[in-house]
Amino acid sequence: MTKVITYGTYDLLHYGHIRLLERAKALGDYLVVGITSDAYDKTRGKINNQQSLMERIAAVEATGLADEIVVEEYEGQKIDDIKRLGIDIFTVGSDWEGYFDYLKEFCKVVYLERTEGISSSQIRAKNSSLKIGLLGNSQFLEKVYKESKVVNGGDICGIYADNLVDIPSSLKDLELVTDKLDLLLDNVDAVYIHSYPAIHYEQIRYALNKGKHVLVESPVALNRTQYKELVNLAQINKVVLMEAIRTAYSTAYNRLLVILQSGKIGEIVSVDATCTSLKSINNKELDKKWNSITAWGPTALLPVFQILGDDYVEKKIISRVEQENKDIKFDTFTKIDFVFEDATASIKVGRGVKSEGELIISGTKGYAYVPAPWWKTDYFELRYENPADNRRYFYQLDGEGIRYELVSFLQAIRTGSNNVAIATEVTDAIVGIMEDYFEDSNVTLI
Ligand code: CTP
């Protein structure tokens, strides 16, 4: 019996795939199809799959061409599979010509002519190309634009800013560059807002009322009443409102959360997060609009509320403010200590102050250590009393998590679900801290 194996993602199964599978099957008597797992695809930079592994497997099964299906989960697995399954022929499409010649040591390698004029990427792009507009003039939007290029299903086509002079240079060539908000909103399906905290609420409200989906840099709003109103508006208008904290979309951070849930470090006793940076020099006007608590507070608070919940019993806020801007509580450094029923947490955030940007989560059996800058890390460790038990975890992080965030936003729009990485309760708790900071007189200012 001649055993043949072929591999692929098979997203949105199309006739190019079916023709490939038919010819692969005809090469022998028994066909094994390797289907890539979502995690493996992510490490290969394939982040746009619209179907889950289970859906992709079901589609290949339904062709009736595969005698056996295996899931491809790691680099180098092809060699293992070929040896383990006693494969005689390895085959793939001619787009891979030459690439798998190293397998000739283990079996025969055949490249089959690729079917012209069709691919999963093409179908995905055609299915849903949403027009996205940018709001704001932060340099950061350049990164968002760059990352959007690797994401299927959404095109950034314009930018609005109240001051066109400060728009980053690479964005000045977009199709639509305007200081008229209505003009931008009338020409897009969705917006990415990164203006400044004091106007986020107004801009979001305006966009939602026009039926546009919104992805907004945190903080979404500066008090809970505003946030509640925005959530209701999004529901009424059947659009997505999503908070942008890119750390929430990093693979390492997500794995850390589930590992902690599985009790690997025991009961969690303390979460301590620090995020600081010096001021940027590119846009001085914008710099005056982002203080420490708004620029870094949401990111530092994310693990606190995601790990311990939002039900803290008390907190103490201490801030060092610019003396000339004391009236508007413009802090360069803030420390918050939280007391939960059976745990504690602390955050330190600084803009214009530097500290070690690490995240430490202490438990009854051990602790998790995420080195600086923890908010864009690809690595963490679990550490124990006995160093021999320590474990290190590495995951790929492309584009600081922005591309995964965009994929998630487009997925939420496509599927009509608001099931995104940051729960409404967590955003609400973050907004609550902004409210308490600005509106409560109980903040210690130094
Ligand atoms: N294939 C083919 N003809 C096509 C598309 C794919 O013969 N028009 C083959 C590939 O060469 C590969 C298998 O089908 O052997 C699975 O390919 P996959 O990467 O899953 O599909 P693509 O459509 O190429 O996906 P994408 O656009 O995401 O790269």
Q: What is the DSSP secondary-structure string of 186-224?
A: HT-SEEEE-S-HHHHHHHHHHHHHTT-EEEEESPS-SSH
119 ligand 1 Cβ < 6 A: yes
Closest CA to 230 of 92, 162, 219, 53: 219
Q: Residue 56 Cα, ligand 1 centroid: separation in angstroms?
A: 13
Peptide bond just before 303 cis, omega within 30 deg? no
16 ligand 1 Cβ < 6 A: yes
Q: What is the largest CA-CA distance in the chain?
A: 83
Q: DSSP label at 333?
A: E
Contacts of 286 (CB under 8 A, 6+ apart): 137, 138, 166, 196
158 ligand 1 Cβ < 6 A: no
Closest CA to 244 of 213, 220, 211: 220
- The residue contributing the CA closest to ligand 1 atom 25 is 120
270 ligand 1 Cβ < 6 A: no
Edge-to-edge strands of the sheet including 154-160? 176-178, 154-160, 130-135, 190-193, 213-217, 241-244
55, 90, 120, 124: which to mutate for ligand 1, most atoms within 8 A of CB?
Answer: 120
C-alpha to C-alpha distance for 260 and 242, rounded to whole angstroms = 25
User: Alpha-carbon Rg of the chain, whole angstroms?
Assistant: 25
C-alpha to C-alpha distance for 436 and 443, rounded to whole angstroms = 8
Closest CA to 193 of 227, 144, 130, 157: 144
Quick one: which atom of ligand 1 is closest to the CA of 49?
28
Q: Residue 396 Cα, ligand 1 centroid: separation in angstroms?
A: 24
C-alpha to C-alpha distance for 409 and 234, rounded to whole angstroms = 14
Cβ of 244: how many Cβ atoms within 10 Å?
25
C-alpha to C-alpha distance for 340 and 204, rounded to whole angstroms = 32
49, 114, 124: which to mutate for ligand 1, most atoms within 8 A of CB?
Answer: 114
- The residue contributing the CA closest to ligand 1 atom 24 is 119
pLDDT tens string, the chain, 446 residues long: the values are: 999 999 999 999 999 999 999 999 999 999 999 999 988 988 887 888 888 899 999 999 999 999 999 999 999 999 999 999 999 999 999 999 999 999 999 999 999 999 999 999 888 877 768 999 999 988 899 999 999 988 888 899 999 998 888 888 899 999 999 999 999 999 999 999 999 999 999 999 999 999 999 999 999 999 999 999 999 999 999 999 999 999 999 889 999 999 999 999 999 999 999 999 997 766 677 778 899 999 999 999 999 999 999 999 999 999 999 888 788 889 999 999 999 999 999 999 999 999 999 999 999 999 999 999 999 989 999 999 999 999 999 988 888 889 999 989 998 998 887 667 899 999 999 999 999 999 987 899 99
Model pTM score: 0.87
Closest CA to 77 of 35, 110, 21: 35
Quick one: which atom of ligand 1 is closest to the CA of 93?
11
